[in-house]
A and B are shown apart, each in its own frame.
Chain A
C-alpha cells in the first residue's frame, strides 16, 4: 500500500519539480539534496531492513551478537555529527564534508558484498556506515538552510524530509521483493544497494553546488573556530531554542517504546509490528511538506509546539481504556504528524538564529541536543516501565512533557524576540 502512496508523492514532487514551482520556492539545491537523500536512504534501508536476517539467519549470529552490532554506535554518533558540522563551517565547504559522508556509506555497501561472514569486518563496516550517516547530516542541513530563501525554510526542510522518508520506505520494499524472488541473494542485494548509493553520491558531487554565502563576508572576518562555535550557546536566542529542544527531547518516548506500548495494550499479531513504523512514516512523508509550509506562514514556533501537543495527545491516546484498532491507527497517525511538525521545523527555526558561517556547527548542536536527550528519555522510560508499570510511566512522561512545553514556549518566545 505504501509503495503506491510513496510513488504518488514522488510523482507529485517530480511534477512540481518539472513545472518549476517547487524549485522556485525552495531552490534546486534542496531538491537535489532531497534526491540524494532519497537514493541514499533507498540504499541504506534496503540493507538495514535485511541486516538482522542476514546476520542471524545466514551467518548464524545470535540475537545478542546482533544487539552488539546494532548498538555499536549510539554515543559516538552525536560526536561525529558535531564534528562534521563544525568541519563544514571551518573549511567553508559543507558539500565536501557531506559528500565524504555519502561516499563512505556507499563504499560500505560494496564492503558488505565482499567481506563475507567475517564478524570483525562486518561490525567495522556497520560502524563505518553509521559514521558516514553522522558525517553527512549536519553539513547537508546547513546546505539546505543556506540555499533556501529564509521565509521558505520550513517548506525546504519539509521537502527534504519527505523525500528522505520516501526513500526509507522504498528501500525495504525492494529488498524484500528481491529476497522473495531469490532467497539468500544477499550479496547481489548489497551490490544493488551499492550502485544506488553511488548514484546518490553522484547527485551530490556532480549536481549539487556549494551554496554561496548570501552576505558578503567582511574581508578581515576570521575563519570560524571552535571557540566561535561554542560561543553560539552564549547567544541568548539560540541557547533558548536549544534548551527548548532539549527539554522537549527529555519528555519524548521513542517510537520503539510507543510501538511496544501499543503491542502491550492491543494484542495484535507480531507480524504487524514492522508495519507500525511504515504507518508512522507515511504520515511523516505526507505531512512534512504541508506542515513546513504552514510553519512558514503562521510561525514555525507555533507548528513546532503544536507538534509536541500532538505528541502529548498521542500519550493520552495510549492511556485511553479499551484500546483497539482505532487506537492503533490514531496513535500512529499522531506520531507521524508529530514528526512532520517538529523534525524539519526545528532545523528551520535554528537556521534563522545562526550566522551563515556557523550554520553547520549550530544545526549539529541543535540536532545533537535533542537526540541525546531523547536517548536519555528512552533509558528513563525503559526503567520507569519496569519499575512502576507502563500506564504510570506514560502518565509521568505526559506530565514531564507538559512541564517541558511550558518551558519550551517561554524559550521560543525568547528565541523569537527580534
Chain B
C-alpha cells in the first residue's frame, strides 16, 4: 500500500495544499491591508478634492492607474483644468471599472464577479443610487444635461454556454431615479435602410447623447459588421446612418462623431477617426496605434482617450501628434464648461 509513488504523492499533496492555503491567505490579508491604505489616502486627499469640486472651475475625472500605488489603483481621481492642461490629480472617491461625469452627476461602474454595480454619483462624487446589472463594465456616458446615463456591459455566459459567443448589454439609466429605464436591444426598434433589424446575434455598445435630451448614438453590431445608429429616446427607435463605427462620441458642437474604426479586415485593430455627420466625411486622426476606447471630446478641437494606461490627447482635425495628457489614468471625462476650443 505505502509504495514510494504513494509517498511522493502525499508529499506533493502537502506542498500543493500548503501553497494554496498560503497564497489564498496572503491574498485576502493583502487585499484588506491595501483597502485600509486606500481609504487613508482618499481621506488625506479629501480637503484638496473638496476645494477642486467646489471651485466652480472645470476639472477632469479619471481612474488612477498608478501601478506603484497599488492600493489606490482604480480609484476615482480629479484634476483641476487650466485651459486644456490638467493639474495634479487628487483622489476623490470610489473604485470604479469605468467612470463618467457631466452636469454635476457621475456614473461609476464597479464589478463583482459577473455582476456590475452601477452607481449614480452626485456633484461631490458621492453615491446617491445604485443598481446591479449583469456583466462586466465596458462604457459609461452621461447626457450633456445630466438627465440620462448610458452604460454598456460585456455579458458572458458560463463555460458551459456556447464558446466563442459574447454579447453586450447597453442600458439607459434615468439619472434622477437611478433606475434602468430601457435596454437598447430589447426596448428599441432599430432599422437598417428602413428594414427592422432582426438578426439574432445583434449587439449594441457605446452610447453617446446629444444636447436635445432625446437623440443618442451607439454602435450596432450584427452578422459580423458594425454600424453607427442614431436614435430617439422618446420614440424608442433608431436607424443606421454609417457603417464600421464603434464606440461613438458626439462632439460638443453636435456636428461630428469621434469613434474607432476597424481596419485591415481585423475586428480587433482600430484607427481613431472623426466622422462629419453632415457630409459623411471621415478623418483619420494622428494616433496610429490601435486604440480600444470610447473617445471623449475635451472641447471641439481635442479628443481624449485611454491607451497604454495613460490618457492621451489628439487634435480632432487629423493634424498634430498625440501627446500624453494625464499619465497613469483612463476613463477621462470633464465636469464644467466644455465646448468652444480653449486656446
Contacts and interface: CB of A to CB of B under 8 A. Distances in A.
Contacts of A191: 19, 23
Interface string B1-19: 0000110110011001101
A57 B136 contact: yes
Contacts of A60: 292, 306
Contacts of B135: 270
B325 interface: no
Nearest to A264: B200
Contact of B5 (A181, A206, A270): A206
A274 B164 CA distance: 16
A49 B156 CA distance: 9
Contacts of A192: 19-20, 23-24
Contact of A271 (B134, B136, B154): B134
Interface of B is mostly: mixed
A391 interface: no
B28 A198 contact: no
Given A66-B154, A182-B28, A270-B133, A202 B160 contact: no
B208 interface: no
B132 to A, nearest CB: 7
Interface stretch (B54-62, B107-115, B209-217): B107-115
B30 interface: yes
A137 to B, nearest CB: 15
Interface in B73-130: 73-74, 95, 97, 111-115
Nearest to A389: B198
Interface stretch (A172-180, A294-302, A345-353, A362-370): A172-180
A56 B154 contact: yes
A70 B164 CA distance: 5
Nearest to B267: A64
Nearest to A193: B20
Contact of A182 (B27, B95, B114, B203): B27
B268 A271 contact: no
How many B residues touch the partner, as a band? 35 or more
A53 interface: yes
B138 A53 contact: no
Central interface residue in B5, B159, B169, by most chain A CB within 10 Å:
B159
A53 B165 contact: no
Interface stretch (A14-22, A95-103, A228-236, A249-257): A249-257
B199 interface: yes
Interface string A199-224: 10011001100000000000000000
Contact of A386 (B31, B114, B132, B199): B199
B268 A62 contact: yes
A255 B26 contact: no
B162 A256 contact: yes
Interface stretch (A86-94, A145-153, A277-285, A395-403): A277-285
8 closest A-B pairs by CB: A71-B164, A270-B134, A256-B162, A182-B31, A277-B160, A277-B158, A256-B161, A52-B156
Given A53-B136, A181-B28, A202-B8, 18 more contacts: A48-B159, A49-B158, A49-B159, A57-B137, A60-B306, A67-B164, A73-B163, A182-B27, A185-B30, A188-B23, A199-B12, A202-B9, A255-B162, A273-B158, A274-B157, A382-B200, A382-B201, A386-B199
24 contacts: A45-B159, A49-B158, A57-B97, A57-B137, A60-B292, A63-B168, A70-B165, A74-B163, A74-B164, A182-B28, A182-B31, A185-B30, A198-B16, A199-B16, A207-B6, A207-B9, A255-B162, A256-B160, A256-B165, A270-B169, A271-B132, A271-B133, A273-B158, A386-B199
Interface of B: 5-6, 8-9, 12-13, 16-17, 19-20, 23-24, 26-28, 30-31, 73-74, 95, 97, 111-115, 132-138, 154-169, 198-201, 203, 205, 267-268, 292, 306
